[in-house]
Amino acid sequence: MPDISKSNSAPAPSAGPSPTLSGKGALVTGASRGIGRAIALRLASLGAAVAICGRDRSALATSLRDLEKTSSRVYSQTADVTRSEDVAALVANAESALGPISILVNNAGIGIFGPVQQKTEQEWDHVLSTNLKSVFLVSRAVIPGMISRGSGDIVNISSLAGRNAFAGGALYCASKWGLQGLTACMAEDLREFGIRVSSVLPGSVATDFGQRAKDPSKALAPEDVAHAVAMLLTQSPKSLISEVQLRPLRK
Protein backbone atom coordinates (compact mmCIF):
# COMPACT_ATOMS: atom_id res chain seq x y z
CA MET A 1 0.00 0.00 0.00
CA PRO A 2 1.31 3.48 -0.79
CA ASP A 3 2.14 5.82 2.05
CA ILE A 4 -0.44 8.61 1.94
CA SER A 5 -0.57 11.94 3.74
CA LYS A 6 -2.91 14.86 3.24
CA SER A 7 -4.16 18.06 4.76
CA ASN A 8 -7.46 19.46 3.63
CA SER A 9 -8.48 22.30 5.93
CA ALA A 10 -9.25 25.76 4.58
CA PRO A 11 -6.22 28.01 4.02
CA ALA A 12 -5.48 30.52 6.75
CA PRO A 13 -6.20 34.13 5.74
CA SER A 14 -3.18 36.16 4.70
CA ALA A 15 -2.47 39.80 4.01
CA GLY A 16 -1.55 41.20 0.60
CA PRO A 17 -2.71 40.43 -2.93
CA SER A 18 -4.26 37.07 -3.75
CA PRO A 19 -1.72 34.48 -4.98
CA THR A 20 -1.83 33.98 -8.72
CA LEU A 21 -2.49 30.21 -8.65
CA SER A 22 -5.32 30.26 -6.11
CA GLY A 23 -7.97 27.66 -6.82
CA LYS A 24 -5.67 25.46 -8.90
CA GLY A 25 -4.52 21.96 -8.06
CA ALA A 26 -0.95 20.95 -8.91
CA LEU A 27 0.89 17.64 -8.99
CA VAL A 28 4.69 17.62 -8.84
CA THR A 29 6.49 14.31 -9.36
CA GLY A 30 9.89 13.58 -7.86
CA ALA A 31 9.27 16.20 -5.17
CA SER A 32 11.01 14.56 -2.23
CA ARG A 33 14.12 16.73 -2.66
CA GLY A 34 15.99 19.19 -4.84
CA ILE A 35 14.26 20.75 -7.82
CA GLY A 36 10.92 19.01 -7.24
CA ARG A 37 10.72 20.17 -3.64
CA ALA A 38 11.58 23.75 -4.64
CA ILE A 39 8.89 23.73 -7.35
CA ALA A 40 6.25 22.38 -4.96
CA LEU A 41 7.07 25.06 -2.39
CA ARG A 42 6.92 27.79 -5.02
CA LEU A 43 3.52 26.66 -6.31
CA ALA A 44 2.16 26.47 -2.77
CA SER A 45 3.42 30.01 -2.09
CA LEU A 46 1.45 31.14 -5.15
CA GLY A 47 -1.75 29.66 -3.74
CA ALA A 48 -1.97 26.31 -5.50
CA ALA A 49 -3.11 23.17 -3.71
CA VAL A 50 -0.10 20.91 -4.18
CA ALA A 51 0.24 17.12 -4.39
CA ILE A 52 3.71 15.60 -4.35
CA CYS A 53 5.08 12.13 -4.89
CA GLY A 54 8.38 10.30 -4.70
CA ARG A 55 9.88 6.93 -3.89
CA ASP A 56 11.82 7.94 -0.76
CA ARG A 57 9.25 7.88 2.04
CA SER A 58 11.43 9.70 4.58
CA ALA A 59 12.49 12.49 2.21
CA LEU A 60 8.90 12.87 1.00
CA ALA A 61 7.72 13.32 4.58
CA THR A 62 10.26 16.12 5.01
CA SER A 63 8.96 17.82 1.87
CA LEU A 64 5.40 17.51 3.15
CA ARG A 65 6.31 19.15 6.44
CA ASP A 66 7.95 22.02 4.56
CA LEU A 67 4.85 22.42 2.39
CA GLU A 68 2.54 22.47 5.39
CA LYS A 69 4.37 25.57 6.63
CA THR A 70 3.21 27.37 3.47
CA SER A 71 -0.20 25.84 2.72
CA SER A 72 -2.84 23.78 4.45
CA ARG A 73 -3.99 22.20 1.17
CA VAL A 74 -1.29 19.65 0.44
CA TYR A 75 -1.11 15.92 -0.26
CA SER A 76 1.72 13.41 -0.56
CA GLN A 77 1.99 9.80 -1.62
CA THR A 78 4.86 7.43 -2.18
CA ALA A 79 4.66 6.25 -5.77
CA ASP A 80 6.78 4.82 -8.55
CA VAL A 81 5.74 6.87 -11.59
CA THR A 82 7.21 4.29 -13.97
CA ARG A 83 4.35 1.95 -12.99
CA SER A 84 0.93 2.65 -14.48
CA GLU A 85 -0.93 1.23 -11.47
CA ASP A 86 0.95 3.57 -9.10
CA VAL A 87 0.21 6.50 -11.38
CA ALA A 88 -3.51 5.74 -11.56
CA ALA A 89 -3.76 5.52 -7.76
CA LEU A 90 -1.70 8.69 -7.30
CA VAL A 91 -3.85 10.81 -9.61
CA ALA A 92 -7.12 9.45 -8.22
CA ASN A 93 -6.09 10.02 -4.61
CA ALA A 94 -4.62 13.48 -5.27
CA GLU A 95 -7.79 14.64 -7.01
CA SER A 96 -9.94 13.18 -4.25
CA ALA A 97 -7.92 15.11 -1.67
CA LEU A 98 -7.40 18.42 -3.46
CA GLY A 99 -9.72 18.59 -6.46
CA PRO A 100 -8.91 18.51 -10.19
CA ILE A 101 -5.28 18.64 -11.26
CA SER A 102 -4.90 21.66 -13.51
CA ILE A 103 -1.08 21.85 -13.25
CA LEU A 104 1.28 18.91 -13.77
CA VAL A 105 5.04 19.24 -13.32
CA ASN A 106 6.85 16.12 -14.51
CA ASN A 107 10.09 16.40 -12.57
CA ALA A 108 11.00 12.83 -11.58
CA GLY A 109 14.37 11.95 -13.03
CA ILE A 110 17.65 10.13 -12.52
CA GLY A 111 21.09 10.18 -14.11
CA ILE A 112 23.44 7.27 -14.77
CA PHE A 113 26.63 8.33 -16.51
CA GLY A 114 29.59 6.65 -18.17
CA PRO A 115 30.75 5.34 -21.56
CA VAL A 116 27.88 3.78 -23.48
CA GLN A 117 29.79 0.51 -24.00
CA GLN A 118 29.98 0.07 -20.23
CA LYS A 119 26.27 0.53 -19.53
CA THR A 120 23.88 -2.36 -18.96
CA GLU A 121 20.43 -3.01 -20.34
CA GLN A 122 19.04 -2.62 -16.82
CA GLU A 123 20.65 0.83 -16.49
CA TRP A 124 19.21 1.86 -19.86
CA ASP A 125 15.73 0.72 -18.85
CA HIS A 126 15.99 2.48 -15.48
CA VAL A 127 16.97 5.85 -16.96
CA LEU A 128 14.54 5.78 -19.88
CA SER A 129 11.64 4.60 -17.73
CA THR A 130 12.19 7.24 -15.05
CA ASN A 131 13.01 10.19 -17.30
CA LEU A 132 10.73 9.51 -20.26
CA LYS A 133 8.15 6.77 -19.73
CA SER A 134 6.98 8.37 -16.47
CA VAL A 135 6.15 11.61 -18.29
CA PHE A 136 3.97 9.68 -20.72
CA LEU A 137 2.20 7.75 -17.96
CA VAL A 138 1.46 10.66 -15.61
CA SER A 139 0.51 13.04 -18.42
CA ARG A 140 -1.82 10.46 -19.94
CA ALA A 141 -3.52 10.09 -16.56
CA VAL A 142 -4.29 13.81 -16.08
CA ILE A 143 -4.93 14.91 -19.67
CA PRO A 144 -8.54 13.63 -19.97
CA GLY A 145 -9.60 15.81 -17.03
CA MET A 146 -7.80 18.81 -18.47
CA ILE A 147 -9.51 18.28 -21.82
CA SER A 148 -12.93 18.09 -20.18
CA ARG A 149 -12.26 21.40 -18.39
CA GLY A 150 -10.76 23.07 -21.46
CA SER A 151 -7.53 24.16 -19.77
CA GLY A 152 -4.37 22.95 -18.08
CA ASP A 153 -0.61 23.32 -17.86
CA ILE A 154 1.98 20.57 -18.18
CA VAL A 155 5.61 21.46 -17.53
CA ASN A 156 8.28 18.85 -18.18
CA ILE A 157 11.62 19.33 -16.44
CA SER A 158 14.18 18.41 -19.07
CA SER A 159 17.85 19.43 -19.26
CA LEU A 160 20.30 21.20 -21.53
CA ALA A 161 21.49 17.63 -22.06
CA GLY A 162 18.35 17.36 -24.19
CA ARG A 163 20.07 19.70 -26.68
CA ASN A 164 23.76 18.92 -26.19
CA ALA A 165 25.89 15.78 -26.22
CA PHE A 166 28.77 15.04 -23.87
CA ALA A 167 31.03 12.07 -23.19
CA GLY A 168 29.49 9.69 -20.70
CA GLY A 169 26.00 11.08 -21.18
CA ALA A 170 24.53 8.57 -23.63
CA LEU A 171 21.71 7.22 -21.44
CA TYR A 172 20.84 10.55 -19.86
CA CYS A 173 21.00 12.51 -23.12
CA ALA A 174 18.90 9.89 -24.91
CA SER A 175 16.18 10.25 -22.27
CA LYS A 176 16.20 14.05 -22.38
CA TRP A 177 16.37 14.31 -26.17
CA GLY A 178 13.39 11.95 -26.22
CA LEU A 179 11.63 14.12 -23.66
CA GLN A 180 12.07 17.16 -25.88
CA GLY A 181 10.39 15.34 -28.76
CA LEU A 182 7.58 14.07 -26.52
CA THR A 183 6.98 17.55 -25.10
CA ALA A 184 6.82 19.18 -28.53
CA CYS A 185 4.35 16.60 -29.85
CA MET A 186 2.20 16.79 -26.71
CA ALA A 187 2.03 20.56 -27.15
CA GLU A 188 0.71 20.16 -30.68
CA ASP A 189 -1.78 17.46 -29.66
CA LEU A 190 -3.22 19.48 -26.77
CA ARG A 191 -3.11 23.18 -27.64
CA GLU A 192 -6.49 22.98 -29.38
CA PHE A 193 -7.98 21.96 -26.01
CA GLY A 194 -6.55 24.97 -24.20
CA ILE A 195 -3.74 22.94 -22.61
CA ARG A 196 -0.20 24.32 -22.61
CA VAL A 197 2.78 21.95 -22.62
CA SER A 198 6.26 23.35 -22.05
CA SER A 199 9.72 22.23 -21.02
CA VAL A 200 12.35 23.75 -18.77
CA LEU A 201 15.94 22.87 -19.65
CA PRO A 202 18.29 23.66 -16.75
CA GLY A 203 22.05 23.46 -16.89
CA SER A 204 24.01 22.41 -13.81
CA VAL A 205 21.93 22.67 -10.63
CA ALA A 206 23.38 22.50 -7.11
CA THR A 207 21.53 19.43 -5.81
CA ASP A 208 22.52 15.90 -4.76
CA PHE A 209 21.74 14.90 -8.36
CA GLY A 210 23.84 17.75 -9.75
CA GLN A 211 27.12 16.81 -8.11
CA ARG A 212 28.72 16.89 -11.55
CA ALA A 213 28.93 20.65 -11.02
CA LYS A 214 32.27 21.05 -9.21
CA ASP A 215 31.81 24.71 -8.26
CA PRO A 216 28.41 25.49 -6.63
CA SER A 217 28.92 29.19 -7.37
CA LYS A 218 28.71 28.30 -11.06
CA ALA A 219 25.52 26.27 -10.74
CA LEU A 220 21.84 27.10 -10.61
CA ALA A 221 19.87 26.72 -7.39
CA PRO A 222 16.72 24.57 -7.32
CA GLU A 223 14.77 27.78 -6.67
CA ASP A 224 15.97 29.14 -10.03
CA VAL A 225 14.23 26.27 -11.79
CA ALA A 226 11.13 26.80 -9.63
CA HIS A 227 11.10 30.45 -10.71
CA ALA A 228 11.12 29.41 -14.38
CA VAL A 229 8.21 27.03 -13.78
CA ALA A 230 6.24 29.78 -12.02
CA MET A 231 6.91 32.09 -14.96
CA LEU A 232 5.42 29.54 -17.37
CA LEU A 233 2.34 29.05 -15.18
CA THR A 234 1.66 32.77 -14.80
CA GLN A 235 2.13 33.83 -18.42
CA SER A 236 -0.69 35.41 -20.40
CA PRO A 237 -3.53 32.90 -20.90
CA LYS A 238 -3.30 33.46 -24.67
CA SER A 239 0.42 32.67 -24.97
CA LEU A 240 2.49 29.49 -25.05
CA ILE A 241 6.15 29.61 -24.07
CA SER A 242 7.29 26.31 -25.50
CA GLU A 243 10.72 26.05 -23.89
CA VAL A 244 12.90 27.76 -21.30
CA GLN A 245 16.65 27.18 -21.44
CA LEU A 246 18.21 28.03 -18.09
CA ARG A 247 21.95 28.45 -17.53
CA PRO A 248 24.12 29.56 -14.62
CA LEU A 249 25.23 33.14 -15.10
CA ARG A 250 28.90 32.31 -14.48
CA LYS A 251 30.79 29.75 -16.52
**Chain centre distance of CA 161:** 17
Question: Which stretches of 56-212 are assigned E, i.e. beta strand?
Answer: 74-78, 101-106, 152-157, 195-202
pLDDT band at 5 (very low <50, low <70, confident <90, very high): low
Is a pLDDT exceeding 80 seen at residue 209? no
Angle between helices 170-190 and 121-128 (to 10 degrees): 30
Name the catalytic one among 172, 176, 225, 248: 172
Q: DSSP secondary-structure letter at 18?
A: P
In percent, how much of the chain has pLDDT > 90?
85
Point out the least confidently predicted range of 2-6, 39-43, 165-169: 2-6
Per-residue pLDDT reduced to its tens digit, 131-143: 999 999 999 999 9
Nearest to 66 by CA among 41, 39, 85, 31: 41
Can you tell me the distance from the alpha carbon of 238 to that of 2, in angstroms, rounded to the nearest whole number?
39
Burial of 15 (0-12, 13-18, 19+ CB in 10 A): exposed
- Residue ranges per domain, the chain? 4-8+21-110+134-162+186-246
The CATH class, in words, for 4-8+21-110+134-162+186-246 is: alpha beta
Q: Check residue 18 and give its pLDDT.
A: 58
Per-residue pLDDT reduced to its tens digit, 10-67: 444 444 455 699 999 999 999 999 999 999 999 999 999 999 999 999 999 999 999 9
Q: DSSP secondary-structure letter at 220?
A: B
Point out the least confidently predicted range of 8-12, 85-89, 201-205, 212-216: 8-12
Question: Catalytic site residue 75?
Answer: no
Q: Check residue 207 and give its pLDDT.
A: 73
Q: Check residue 213 and give its pLDDT.
A: 52
